Amino acid sequence: MTTNKNGQKKRLWDFEPVSKIKWEEKINQDLKGADYKSKLFWNSHEGFTAAPFYTQEDLQNLEHNAKKTIIDRTGWTCCEPIYETAPGDANEAMKTAIEKDSASFQIRSKSSWKSGMLGGDMYGTQIQKQADLDRLMDGIDTESVEFTFDSGMTTPALVAMMNNHPEKFNNPKFVFDPFTYIAERGRLPFDEKKLKEIVNQLVDQKNYKTLCADGLFYHRTGATIVQELALALATASEYLSLIDEEKKESAADEIFVRLAAGPLYFPEIAKLRVIRLLWDQLMEAYGFENPPKLTVIAETSKTNKTITDPHNNLIRTITESMSAVLGGVNQLMVHPYNTLESTPGNFSRRIARNIQYILRDESHFDKVADPSAGSYYIENLTSTIAKEAWEYFQTIENEGGVLQSLKNGSIQEVINRSKAEREKAVNQGKKVLVGTNYYANAEEELPDTIDAESFADSLELTDFEHDDSSEDLIQSLQNAFKNEATVGDVIEAMLKPEKVLYQVVEETRLGSVFDEIRLRTKSLSEETEIEPVVHLVPVGDVKWRNARATFSHNTLGCGGFKIDHPTGYDSIDEAAEKIEFGEADLFVLCSSDKEYEEFVEPFCDAFSDKGICILAGHPGDNEESYRAAGMDLFIHKGMDIPALLLNIQNDLFKIEKDHETT
């Protein structure tokens, strides 16, 4: 036992502090002189690099004051998504949730419009006229319940309906972001003069938060943490540039930021702290004397969610929720674990709701403001991410702002490059999605489809003729809805897209290709009554054969194939005697590179006429000779796994292949 000079057990403060230099000397000693910065620094692929360790000394040089908390409040609002499409059904769902202590809801109600169409479509809850909004809110205390409307370009219509509603609303939020409309569709939602007019009229709606800087959209399209932050800030800055000078500072309070609660636990905590630092810098840059505090809402990510082994989504959601709360989010919405495959039922909604309640009521995450303040690691992450995000924000500003950058296509190019890197990492197995591209569960029952389609219905039309010449859009919409007009009747006053001129970005879900392959195997097996079986043939060196058999099991299991995984064979002949052959077999030789030169030929002699022969490992210079012996495929780290699995599917299901050709 370690004791001090008085023979007493040493306490923490009795130990001499260890300097950063001494830590570095110890690390270099353990690495035998190798540069630890090149070996141990973490390239996060999120726009920043993190060191393997930090000390108190690292807090001294931070640009922000690590001794001062960034978040000066405790607690957050637990928000619940509403999926029902009929206003009456949505109303009942909210009342049921209110009985379970919910007091905040997000309602999706967005419209689309295309040239040559009459009206367009509405997605989500069908709030098409004043009666729909009134039915939605019937019997609900709108002054105590909070609402967030994911309403897009339909926002002016919903604002007008809510102004007509007899009850007041408790500071509702509207996800209105015309710049993400441009990024998603490659066109302006209306001309730039109209853009400025609508932004200025929306900020005149006091006690409503009507301008959303939607970083979540960019996260869903593949943006890094740094890009998500910079684009959210650039969007906020673009709003301020459009707002009339005399009301800029007061209008800043109408802006809020929506971000993702993503999968990287500590960086996500830092991200949510960073956005407040960046906001303060932006307010200072605009010279505001009494800048408002920033409102930040977040949602658990969908980019890392899967339909294969979907209960893993629960675990992912829990860590995402924790990082959001520790990062100081004002409002958090947790998606149920099965939103990809169906409209969530009572069970998955209850579990999603209870995740937040457990964090609040059992784990007491609402008792401390900025609990990560002072952490060497998180404070340094905060500083590093803030620096990188501010630099990218300045790049966007120097290009003329987010609108001009979207027109130029520079933002789209950056995001699409990041998206491609993410997808490549998942497809090569460098980024693991448990149960999807690694550790697949062959016994699970898969759904018939992947993404549950968002409900859409045509916009209703009446004989009402709306006068678009009014300078007060909101008031004219209020009058229209009082006269029983529909959103379809007035859509062109809010959404009249310009020509498609710009590059776009599309949402990504990283495990989707593996989900699709698994579903394809299921479908083809049912159609042809053929069940593919992968027979692993571990022989030779025990260490190598076990490692490669495990790798092969995990890789080929992602295709939905049944795996025969024996402990090992003493020889190829023994394997050939014991394996029971079927209609669609794959045989995988698992051994060491050195022994492959001995095993490949007898392996192919035994199995090449029985099915597909695969070698586990990179063949190197021996590829040509191994193929000549009868080896069909090679699996190894760094390969494109989906391409391999699709190739195997097409070889195994010859009936389907012929059918496709026909």
Please report the domains of the chain, with CATH numbers, ordered by start residue: 77-494 (3.20.20.240), 520-661 (3.40.50.280)
Q: How confident is the model at residue 13 (pLDDT cuts 50, 70, 90)?
A: low
Q: How confident is the model at residue 659 (pLDDT cuts 50, 70, 90)?
A: very low
pLDDT for residue 448? 75
DSSP secondary structure string, 328-384?
T-SEEE---TTTTTS---HHHHHHHHHHHHIIIIIS-TTSSSSTTTT-HHHHHHHHH
Distances (CA, A) of 97 to 81, 103, 250: 10, 8, 35
More reliable by pLDDT, 540 or 35: 540
Residue type, 517: I
Q: How confident is the model at residue 32 (pLDDT cuts 50, 70, 90)?
A: confident
Distances (CA, A) of 576 to 9, 109, 541, 633, 634: 65, 61, 19, 19, 20
pLDDT for residue 15? 72
pLDDT for residue 367? 94
pTM of the full predicted structure? 0.93
pLDDT tens digit string along 158-214?
A: 999 999 999 999 999 999 999 999 999 999 999 999 999 999 999 999 889 999 999
Distances (CA, A) of 17 to 57, 374, 504: 11, 17, 54
Geometric angle at alpha carbon 564, from 558 and 568, rounded to 5°: 120
Q: How confident is the model at residue 662 (pLDDT cuts 50, 70, 90)?
A: very low
Cα–Cα nearest to 646, from 516, 517, 525, 510: 517
The span from the CA of 232 to the CA of 217, in Å, is 10
Q: How confident is the model at residue 8 (pLDDT cuts 50, 70, 90)?
A: low
The span from the CA of 438 to the CA of 433, in Å, is 6
Lowest-confidence segment of 23-32, 292-301, 431-440 by average pLDDT:
23-32
pLDDT tens digit string along 491-542?
A: 999 999 999 999 999 999 999 999 999 999 999 999 989 899 999 999 999 9
**Cβ atoms within 10 Å, residue 116:** 4
pLDDT for residue 658? 42
pLDDT tens digit string along 453-481?
A: 668 899 999 999 888 777 899 999 999 99
Relative to beta strand 42-43, strand 49-50 is antiparallel
pLDDT for residue 275? 97
Q: How confident is the model at residue 115 (pLDDT cuts 50, 70, 90)?
A: low
pLDDT for residue 39? 87
% residues pLDDT > 90 (the chain): 81
The half-sphere exposure of 463 on its side-chain side, counting CA atoms within 13 A, is 0
DSSP secondary structure string, 139-176?
T--TTTSEEEEE-GGGHHHHHHHHHHSSS--SS-EE--
Q: How confident is the model at residue 126 (pLDDT cuts 50, 70, 90)?
A: very high
Mean per-residue pLDDT, 423-429: 95
% residues pLDDT > 70 (the chain): 95
pLDDT tens digit string along 632-647?
A: 999 999 999 999 999 9
The span from the CA of 496 to the CA of 478, in Å, is 19
Distances (CA, A) of 375 to 379, 467, 564: 6, 58, 48
DSSP secondary structure string, 445-490?
PPPS-SSPPPPEEEPP--S----TT-S-HHHHHHHHHHTT-BHHHH
Lowest-confidence segment of 18-22, 183-187, 286-290, 325-329 by average pLDDT:
18-22
pLDDT tens digit string along 302-343?
A: 999 999 999 999 999 999 999 999 999 999 999 999 998 878
Angle of helix 512-528 relative to helix 410-427, nearest 10 degrees, comes to 50
pLDDT greater than 60 at residue 661: no
Cα–Cα nearest to 487, from 142, 200, 195, 132: 132
Mean per-residue pLDDT, 217-230: 98
Cα–Cα nearest to 417, from 248, 567, 227, 284: 227
pLDDT for residue 3? 63
Cα–Cα nearest to 282, from 410, 394, 395, 403: 394
Report helix, strand or coil for 134.
helix
Cα–Cα nearest to 128, from 456, 452, 453: 456
More reliable by pLDDT, 65 or 654: 65
Characterise 125 by phi-psi region: left (phi > 0), alpha (psi -120 to 50), beta (else). beta
Distances (CA, A) of 522 to 408, 516, 603, 622: 44, 10, 29, 35
pLDDT for residue 471? 85
pLDDT for residue 233? 98
The span from the CA of 5 to the CA of 85, in Å, is 74
pLDDT greater than 60 at residue 117: no
pLDDT for residue 660? 42
pLDDT for residue 543? 97
Mean per-residue pLDDT, 68-73: 86
